[in-house]
């Protein structure tokens, strides 16, 4: 459950990076706001367009329940070297000072990119680590709540 001060309702364009947007109707989508080249980007987390993104600045067509300032946690048992295998969409990658998500543009046939979730982490230098399982949470300790999970088996 969410406390009233933990969410708002609005458009994708009004949501800041690291906001989770939950659908209010069957026509809306679960989305995580990241940024690509410093511009906000909405990344679909489930459904037909899972892990596709579009730039969301100024977008007032898409709406939902906005939960700002969520945290992302990785399942350390799902770690792998992204230099060794092909990276599936929806994978989180820790690279340099960033935590990114591997996503594909809405109008892109093949090209995938890393959308930044966090960009002020301690540097990993030249090393990278990827994670196939992760979750989105709010709160800490006994107050921590899991709002969404990415598993190996599915996109939702």
Residue 156 placed within a domain = no
State pLDDT tens for residues 5-19: 999 999 999 999 999
User: Residue 72: inside a domain, yes or no?
Assistant: yes
96 within domain boundaries = yes
pLDDT in tens, 16-33: 999 999 999 999 999 999
User: Is 36 domain-assigned?
Assistant: yes
Task: Render pLDDT for 94-107 as a digit per residue (tens, 0 to 9).
Answer: 999 999 999 998 77
Residue ranges making up the domain that contains 54: 4-150
3-state SS track over 50-74: CCEEEECCCCCCCEEEEECCCEEEE
- Residue 49 domain flag: yes
Which helix (H) or strand (E) is 93 found in, with range? strand 92-95
**b/e map 133-152, b = 16+ CB within 10 Å:** bbbbbbeeeeeeeebbebee
- Asked if the structure places residue 155 within a domain, the reply is no
Calpha distance 114→12 (Å, rounded): 20
Question: For the chain, what is the domain count?
Answer: 1
Instruction: Report the share of the chain in percent with pLDDT over 70.
Output: 96
Query: Which pairs with CB-CB distance under 8 Å and at least 24 residues apart come from 118-127?
Result: 118/18, 118/72, 121/94, 121/97, 122/97, 123/96, 123/97, 124/94, 124/95, 124/96, 124/97, 125/96
Q: pTM for this one?
A: 0.91
């Amino acid at each position: 459950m969410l406390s009233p001060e933990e969410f708002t309702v609005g458009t994708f364009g009004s949501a800041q990076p690291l906001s989770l947007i939950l659908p209010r109707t069957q026509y809306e989508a679960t989305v995580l706001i990241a940024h690509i080249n410093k511009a906000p980007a909405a990344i679909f987390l489930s459904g037909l367009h899972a892990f596709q993104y579009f730039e969301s600045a100024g977008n007032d067509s898409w709406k939902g329940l906005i939960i700002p300032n969520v945290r992302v946690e990785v399942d350390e048992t799902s770690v792998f070297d992204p230099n060794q295998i092909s990276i599936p969409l929806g994978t989180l990658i820790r690279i340099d000072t960033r935590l990114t998500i591997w996503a594909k543009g809405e109008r892109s046939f093949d090209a995938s990119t890393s959308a930044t979730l966090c960009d002020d982490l301690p540097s990993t230098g030249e090393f990278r680590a990827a994670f196939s399982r992760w979750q989105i949470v709010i709160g800490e300790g006994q107050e921590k709540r899991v709002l969404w999970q990415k598993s190996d088996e599915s996109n939702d």
